[in-house]
Amino acid sequence: MQNSILDVAGLKVGSAEDPQIATGVTALLFDEPAIAAVSTLGGAPGTRDTTLLDLEMTVAHVDALVLSGGSAFGLDAAGGVQAVLREQGRGFRIGDVTVPIVPQVILFDLLNGGDKQWGRTPPFFRLGMEAADRAGEPLRLGSAGAGYGATVAGLKGGLGTASTKTASGHWVAALVAVNAVGSPLIGDGPHFWAAPYEQAHEFGGLGWPQTIPPTALTPRLKGAASEAANTTIGIIATDATLDPQQAKRVALAAHDGYARALRPAHTPLDGDTIFCAATGRQSGSVDVATLTQLALTAADVMARAVARGVYEATALPFPGALPAWRDRFR
């Protein structure tokens, strides 16, 4: 067990960053096309090809999923991932042509101190290719990939992951880039809202504070609440065999993990979105009881992954950059 989305058989992950621009891309590639669904509960999402995952659409499987910084500019990253997959002969076949199916979601990291004056050619197609080419490398957390330029209220955000095996024997894991308008901490910290779900001291092992004062419930927001400089984006993966409707149910339930780990979540200016993907490496139908267990576990691992992404982050090397959790509390 790696406590990682890589514990789910049938997938690999690659990340790429541009330190000068202070942004990055994370690509999750499937060994074989996977069933996927998506759920958006934030009010300001940025997505590419997520409509393909609607239940009434023709193509039920995806070849990859992409998380990226860059706001709307970052939507070029899926094209870079598609280019790599097409070279590999991957994709939905129409005659003698293949079209890789690569839905994507982005976060806003354009105000983090990096040099965003890239001219007429945003870097995200290149970063998408680099992330896809690196798929299979060890998974880096914190200030890596789509989490490289991410921030939360008062702290550096980052890329997090967590996994667990359910009583039914299925692996469920989360991968998330944490860039929320809200805070993962109880009051001024250092304790995480996700503390009850922590396993093996994965984000410091501090547990709950002795008391939670009423002031801890006062919202702590990043910058001006009217700025759309936010969005937490994630993926739930499982080796269960799910149909699209079941995957959608798990994606919806996983948003509880955001709500458990971030205060607030799903605001008008967060584009909070979660994919659920099923590799089907464990055959057999999933009944209602097992699906309920998968959905509950998805929320738990997502909460853990959110806290871990912040815990593992390092501050960006720019004047005025937000400190990392470890800068403040270790």
The residues, any chain, with a CB within 8 Å of residue 206's CB and separated by 6 or more, are 190, 191, 192, 195
Share of the chain above pLDDT 70, in %: 98
Residue 223's pLDDT is 76
Report the distance separating Cα 54 and Cα 5, nearest Å: 24
326 inside domain: no
* pLDDT interval class at 201 (50, 70, 90): very high
Residue 330's pLDDT is 83
The residues, any chain, with a CB within 8 Å of residue 120's CB and separated by 6 or more, are none
12 inside domain: yes
In this prediction, residues 107-130 reach a mean pLDDT of 96
Residue 189's pLDDT is 92
267 inside domain: yes
Residues in the chain: 330
In this prediction, residues 146-157 reach a mean pLDDT of 96
Report the distance separating Cα 95 and Cα 125, nearest Å: 26
In this prediction, residues 101-113 reach a mean pLDDT of 96
310 inside domain: yes
SS3 content of the chain, % helix, strand, coil (to 5): 30, 25, 50
Q: What is the mean pLDDT of the chain?
A: 95
In this prediction, residues 128-134 reach a mean pLDDT of 98
Higher pLDDT, 222 or 71: 71
pLDDT higher than threshold 90 for residue 312 = yes
pLDDT higher than threshold 70 for residue 225 = no
65 inside domain: yes
For residues 168-187, one letter each, b for 16 or more C-beta atoms within 10 angstroms of the residue's C-beta and e for the rest, the string is bebbbbbbbbbbbbbbbbbb
Residue 269's pLDDT is 86
- pTM for the whole thing? 0.97
Residue range(s) defining the domain that contains residue 268: 5-318
Share of the chain above pLDDT 90, in %: 94
* pLDDT interval class at 29 (50, 70, 90): very high
User: Where in the chain does DSSP place strands (E)?
Assistant: 11-18, 23-40, 47-48, 61-68, 92-94, 97-99, 104-106, 151-152, 155-156, 158-165, 171-178, 233-238, 273-278
Residue 224's pLDDT is 60
Cis bond upstream, residue 214 (ω within 30):
no
The number of folded domains in the chain is: 1
133 inside domain: yes
Q: What is the CATH number of the domain that holds 185?
A: 3.60.70.12
pLDDT digits (tens, 9 = 90+) for 43-66: 999 999 999 999 999 988 999 999
Indicate the residue type of 146: A
In this prediction, residues 225-235 reach a mean pLDDT of 78
Report the distance separating Cα 114 and Cα 10, nearest Å: 35
330 inside domain: no
323 inside domain: no
